[in-house]
Amino acid sequence: MAASNINRVVLTGNLTADPDLRSLPSGMPVCKLRLAVNTRRKQGEEWVDKPNYFDVTVWGKQGENCANFLSKGRPVAIDGRLEWREWQDKETGKNRQSIDIIADTVQFLGGRDDNGGGGGGGYNNGGGFQPRSDVPANVDDFAPSATPAPVGAPTSDDDIPF
């Protein structure tokens, strides 16, 4: 039986700098993001946030969109994979290595004009859920169901919903 390999990363955090968009000689856009993701740890009697920093690479049109619509402080969700690379430092001649995150998808969170507001998550200023759809909701779908039968009451096959 062959072993299966899984290389998957899912992160949510905030950008620590504006996106850096460049192009390869072939014209392919590549965007670099720096993401801060907090981990909660107990220090003495208090819980504190410890930031972890990750370099993220986003290729193609998605990278262009990141450069156009994201900025420092903006919350994002990243789904991607780890990629190990090795190179020789030009100044010291020493071999160097790093692990980068290659994003398959980047989801913009929060509002466009704020750094963490609720625009993208479907919530408004401190309030309840605001549906974000062009299709009106059928309020009949949310009507309370009939009162359930008392425990031990006889049921028929007609009462089963499947």
- Contact between 37 and 12 under an 8 Å Cβ cutoff? The reply is yes
In a domain, 148, yes or no: no
Contact in structure between 28 and 62 (CB atoms under 8 Å) = no
Total of domains in the chain: 1
Establish if 14 belongs to a structural domain: yes
Segments forming the whole domain that contains residue 79: 9-116
Please report the pLDDT score of residue 154 as a whole number. 57
CATH number of the structural domain spanning residue 57:
2.40.50.140
- Predicted TM-score (pTM) of the model is 0.64
pLDDT in tens, the chain (162 residues): 667 899 999 999 999 999 999 999 999 999 999 999 999 998 899 999 999 999 999 999 999 999 999 999 999 999 999 999 998 999 999 999 999 999 999 999 987 665 544 433 333 333 333 334 444 444 454 445 555 555 555 555 565 555
Give the rounded percent of residues in the chain with a pLDDT score beyond 70: 67
Residue 64 phi/psi, 5-degree rounding, is -60, -40
